[in-house]
Amino acid sequence: MGDPNLAIIAGSGVLPRMLSRALEASGRSHLCFHPHGVEVELDEAEEFYFERSISFFRSLERRGIRQVVMVGKFQRPRVLNPLRFEGSTLMAAPRILASLRKGDDASLRSLAEIIEELGLEVVGVEEVAPHLLPEPGLYASCVPSEMDRADVQRAADIVEVISAVDVGQGAVVAAGLCLATESLPGTDAMLEWVASTRERPPQGTRSGVLYKAPKTNQDRRMDLPAIGPVTVAKAAAAGLAGIAWEARGVLLLDADQTMAEAERHGLFLWARPALR
């Protein structure tokens, strides 16, 4: 496969593993790394310290790495060890720490700028493994009703508004009413809240939808929204009829299992063509 010139910077969750396997299947050689303290689902991944990140990224270039893709869930470091800082990262610390006080997308965009200033190219999943982003279509046998489609449109309008201020990438709507919007705790927490607070539909019926899409003007190289088996299970527990997302803008994690879960619970999965 040749010498690797691509590095995966892995966060938590299944996506780094999925991407690594997809790259292996396509014959793309790569190396995997993860920040200290982040548990990753990879067989082989080297660890680096946030406090030494500048020298780490410079070392990648010396190893022949030319492109970097950041995937998985990244949490801002709660505690930094001042004794672990090396000179170059310490000099950049004010800029790095200022970026961490911004919203998620702004923080990641600032990090990407720093990485590219060091001579590396930051790329996205859609560039190195585009098949992980589903094309428009239905991914389960259930078909959304006219009311479901209206709820999806309403949720899409809401997501566009909240994403413009870097708040979230998802919303839940039922019968035209917004039940919840995604914020820092994430999609799972939002769905759990809906399950515990909403007036449930009649026995044997479902209503309402979860819709997810990238934020307005989001840098799509990083932090793309994702849907997986857990999302389906929590949407089912909340009594929803289905899940929709912006086609080519949302990652489908463990696709076979996700689709099987949707079939088991009787939910639709709809990759909706982007309208913006």
What is residue 90's predicted lDDT score, i.e. its pLDDT? Answer: 67
Residue bearing tokens 């413009």: 164
pLDDT over 90 (residue 139):
yes
Q: Structurally, what CATH architecture does the domain formed by 133-272 represent? A: 3-Layer(aba) Sandwich (3.40)
The burial of 27, by beta-carbon neighbours within 10 Å (0-12 exposed, 13-18 middle, 19 or more buried), is given as exposed
**pLDDT above 70 as % of the chain:** 89
Assign 200 a pLDDT band (cuts: 50, 70, 90). Answer: confident
Give me the phi and psi of 137, to 5 degrees please: 150, 180
> Nearest Cα to 125, choosing from 13, 243, 3, 241?
13
What is residue 199's predicted lDDT score, i.e. its pLDDT? Answer: 82
What is residue 137's predicted lDDT score, i.e. its pLDDT? Answer: 97
Residue 33 CA to residue 13 CA, distance in Å, equals 14
Q: Which range (7-11, 25-29, 73-77, 248-252) has the least confidence? A: 73-77
Residue that wins the pLDDT comparison between 217 and 272: 272
Residue 260 CA to residue 195 CA, distance in Å, equals 21
pLDDT over 60 (residue 80):
yes
In one-letter notation, the amino acid at residue 43 is D
pLDDT in tens, 210-230: 999 998 877 788 778 999 999
E runs forming strands in the chain = 6-10, 31-35, 46-48, 67-71, 121-123, 137-138, 170-174, 177-181, 209-212, 226-227, 242-246, 251-252, 268-272
Residues of CATH 3.40.140.80 domain(s) within the chain?
133-272
The SS3 of residue 103 is: coil
Assign 114 a pLDDT band (cuts: 50, 70, 90). Answer: confident
Assign 239 a pLDDT band (cuts: 50, 70, 90). Answer: very high
Residues of CATH 3.40.50.20 domain(s) within the chain?
6-130
pLDDT in tens, 90-110: 676 677 666 666 555 666 777
Residue that wins the pLDDT comparison between 160 and 203: 160
Q: What is the 3-state secondary structure (H, E, C) of 209-244?
A: EEEECCCCCCCCCCCCCEECHHHHHHHHHCCCCEEE
Strands 177-181 and 170-174: antiparallel
Assign 76 a pLDDT band (cuts: 50, 70, 90). Answer: low
CATH number of 6-130: 3.40.50.20
Q: Give every CB contact of residue 170 below 8 A, 6+ residues apart in sequence.
A: 159, 181, 182, 187, 190, 210, 211, 212, 213, 225
Query: Could you tell me the pTM of the whole model?
Result: 0.82
Q: Give every CB contact of residue 32 below 8 A, 6+ residues apart in sequence.
A: 7, 8, 10, 16, 20, 40, 42, 44, 45, 46
What is residue 112's predicted lDDT score, i.e. its pLDDT? Answer: 85
